[in-house]
Structure 1
């Protein structure tokens, strides 16, 4: 490998000419989608529309150089934007200079956290949010986004970080609704919903190729924006219709706005939750894109790239960003083969910011709101709740609790409660592990639960299996449960440890106490199926000598040794 190749992204070192047309077409299509999304998600975040454009420039370029997913498109995302608004609206009023500064620092802090997690190979932090909790959070956040856009759709400001506040503000502003905004926004929303469901079929019926028809469907938001801008330019501005207005031309200055140190503690925890949501979102998108190509992702590498993208967004006056599922799927469907498509999008976005921002003046906010509503409605999904209710009520309750917390307490509180529910659920399940009494299937070496199978048992011997690793959180419960299962008439207990993958000092001390307590009752404790990592810990803690001669390789060996007579069936 040459010296230069070591510093180039892998896709550039092995680029093939036949990939170029797909990357160019994908770059153009994603740009058409990204412009309205960037403007709309900046509005969701409570920031000026140009901030969304700024937040799209550096991340596209940085991810192309550092990321590994061939079609991941990094930029503003709906749920992240809502988290920004929910966090900052509690600290300062929207629209001011300090609000924009705090948004920049949220991007910087979350970027530094993501970068640190990637460098320390701690991508497993993403697993702290269980799937039911994450699904409940995303569905509730999407519903909040939809409700937050009802105000602009109706021509008023709306506002509010919780469901009661949103509904109260809509009611208070009911007299300021604008009929023109409702007409334009409603028409745009109907068009977007219809195009998503039926436009591709109509285009295919008139002879358009399926791929081309799908691209036209993806461009439906752009057509809605153009129609709205044309209508507003002709009569909307004079009627008092709320428009995007003047969007400054030119690239944002590079640098970091000064933040008083007293403000920093207010941002650390929200930045962590934003980083956590962005991490889960980006890794999920990368995995979805990798599956059809039978590729694998490097989570820690993705975190490094995503962290650098957020730092880049902060230095260019943006706000937190992540991989967007819609844009990334569109990028892949449009033919993206490498991250060159993102470089092309970055170039086109730069040209738009430099020379085409005046064209955005007449863009109605109602139409932008319609594009937001249409894009996030699909995120409101209760299918996982139905599955959880059928197979695990605890997961279903976690979904419901997170969903309700987001609606009633706000997005930032909801994600915190969701995280606590995820961790609490894991602690509760691992803290009271399943313990089974085993017997042998006749004529075999296989052992099963005596409650569910017809099995043989040894007189005076109990085979007990713990189906969980042993640690400080469950040591006392396991000890009490094992003692309770050692009923009168039992002289020997075989603790089957096939389900124990890890053990700590608290659990080792528990085994010592258990051995002593059973011995005082005249019961001898034996161990079997100890895995090598557990055995090594026991050896270091000098526990193996205590059980010398009382450790079996398997439950079957224990059965053979403790059986009152030799078993010749096996």
Structure 2
């Protein structure tokens, strides 16, 4: 595992000043975000920082990415709340313990899968399903914060719950909370679009202007806290209150076997979502450097970070895009910046935990809503529908079920639909009759190229998928149907350029199919068999009787059948 510590090993004496500055800037952003995401997950605010300290240290040691900053994120916080609200009351001691257990389980799974080099599992979350899940989660997160934006506590896990709570939210709205939430929303929306250009016009450097714009939540939190501390009218709304001071202590999450069993499936899906999100951030950062990202090292590092979070009473974590971008743009050159972030966060917990006691919860809600609202994007649905109706259905089902029933059910349904569609398509491979393009050695589907030449008595057919137990019955039926449509066929040439893999069932089928053709007076030839497929057939003895019937290319088979050679010279 040569990648261990690659992110920290990139530290150089010359880059330490920029690493220190970047780490301090990210800490300013991490504190309000950590508090906000903990509340979103239904946990005490300080748990968001407990879930930041140990993971930052562990990822700095193990992580291969130089700039990625790990910690709580909106999607994982929502998944945590949706999972745990079925088992315990949000904010209770049991709920906090289950959150730590969830982080521990998902981290252990992720690390184990990474060590087993099972990074391919992330591919089961297809892009349409992941896009639908992200969009639906963003809708639910925004809806869950509507009450907090106006000073009303409103629970719920589905869009139906939030819609039902709207009358109570409207009736209980508080003017100071409306002012705090509305002003913060307006500031953050404006800052995302206009602050950096405005600063540049005022003579500020482009890099510094963008950094100030990305840390706009920090300025909103500081201003609202100060105003609430000095203006009683503004403070007449739900406030954050004192945050428990002190560093997190290691504790083994006490849980029954039944609790572990109940959390295994949710932990697996949280692990996959965390992996996809963390990999996306790491890849985006790597592209800026002209580098690539291997999934397995990221899996191990993110898994270990989640285990550390669970052992210190935190919640599931992953790579955060906004913090990682700020980290990179602030000049971070290595994971030494994350060590500085962890140190600054620890100092805040030890010496300044009470400094945000007068922070309005409406401001934290706005800090969550603005970046999350940008994730509500339904354009992938139209692209998926135009490209493949099955992917479009998977997107729509994932989105609708996530909103109506819950994000965990939506993701499971989307994955199952995607896999079902893939199995259905692979279970009926495309079969094309080939002909030779005049004057060339190229063979193409005669349905697309009617002018392609054919040989009397010979039928060239190409199978465009791997052969395995799940599609052999359909392939066999389609081949016999094509032969029935060409009663004068004396030789069937099976072009296998599209067959990448075969299994033992395919071996048995080939031997049986060859014997049945011979009994009907039809000879079977094989062309363009790929190396791995040829090797498996050879090991199984399926090619023992194919001497003189195995051809390197369709052109060789064409010539052996007496077809004209190409009328050009190279």
TM normalised by structure 1 equals: 0.96
Counterparts of 1:74 and 1:566, CA distance in 2: 63
Q: Residue by residue, what CA displacement relative to the aligned partner does 1:50-79 show, whole Å, maximum 9, x if unpaired?
A: 000100001111111100111111100110
Counterparts of 2:565 and 2:203, CA distance in 1: 79
Q: RMSD across aligned C-alpha pairs, in angstroms?
A: 1.8
Match of 2:18 in 1: 22
Cα distance change on mapping 1:520 and 1:146 into 2, 3 Å: same
Match of 1:270 in 2: 266
The within-5 A match list for 1:539-558 is: 539-558=538-557
Instruction: Kindly indicate whether residue 46 of structure 2 is the aligned counterpart of residue 50 of structure 1.
Output: yes
Match of 1:441 in 2: 437
Match of 1:147 in 2: 143
The alpha-carbon deviation at position 352 of structure 1 amounts to 0.7
The alpha-carbon deviation at position 456 of structure 1 amounts to 0.8
Q: Residue by residue, what CA displacement relative to the aligned partner does 1:366-414 show, whole Å, maximum 9, x if unpaired?
A: 1000000011111112232232233323222221111111111101111
Q: Give the counterpart of 2:107 among 111, 115, 119.
A: 111
Instruction: Kindly indicate whether residue 314 of structure 2 is the aligned counterpart of residue 318 of structure 1.
Output: yes
The alpha-carbon deviation at position 237 of structure 1 amounts to 7.5
Match of 1:297 in 2: 293
The within-5 A match list for 1:245-394 is: 245-394=241-390
Cα distance change on mapping 1:393 and 1:304 into 2, 3 Å: same
SS at match of 1:379: coil
The within-5 A match list for 1:202-241 is: 202-235=198-231, 240-241=236-237
CA contact (8 A) 1:465 1:499 kept: yes
Match of 2:134 in 1: 138
Counterparts of 1:382 and 1:91, CA distance in 2: 32
Match of 1:478 in 2: 475
SS at match of 2:374: helix
Cα distance change on mapping 1:414 and 1:279 into 2, 3 Å: same
Counterparts of 1:495 and 1:153, CA distance in 2: 66
Greater mean alpha carbon deviation, residues 226-235 or residues 252-261: 226-235
Q: Residue by residue, what CA displacement relative to the aligned partner does 1:269-312 show, whole Å, maximum 9, x if unpaired?
A: 00000001001111111111101211122211111111110010
Cα distance change on mapping 1:120 and 1:521 into 2, 3 Å: same
Cα distance change on mapping 1:319 and 1:566 into 2, 3 Å: closer
Counterparts of 1:130 and 1:8, CA distance in 2: 29
SS at match of 1:438: strand
- Structure 2: runs of 5+ lacking an equivalent: none
The alpha-carbon deviation at position 29 of structure 1 amounts to 1.5
Counterparts of 1:563 and 1:206, CA distance in 2: 80
Counterparts of 2:3 and 2:328, CA distance in 1: 25
Counterparts of 1:173 and 1:7, CA distance in 2: 51
SS at match of 2:47: helix
SS at match of 2:46: helix
Match of 1:463 in 2: 460
CA contact (8 A) 2:441 2:566 kept: no
Counterparts of 2:511 and 2:200, CA distance in 1: 73
SS at match of 1:101: helix
SS at match of 1:159: coil
Counterparts of 2:170 and 2:481, CA distance in 1: 65
CA contact (8 A) 2:102 2:263 kept: yes
- Structure 1: runs of 5+ lacking an equivalent: none
Q: Residue by residue, what CA displacement relative to the aligned partner does 1:145-189 show, whole Å, maximum 9, x if unpaired?
A: 011100111211112111111111233443222121111101100
Cα distance change on mapping 1:11 and 1:85 into 2, 3 Å: closer
Q: How many residues align?
A: 566
Cα distance change on mapping 1:567 and 1:219 into 2, 3 Å: closer
Q: Residue by residue, what CA displacement relative to the aligned partner does 1:236-275 show, whole Å, maximum 9, x if unpaired?
A: 5886411111211001111213112221111000000000
The within-5 A match list for 1:401-412 is: 401-412=397-408
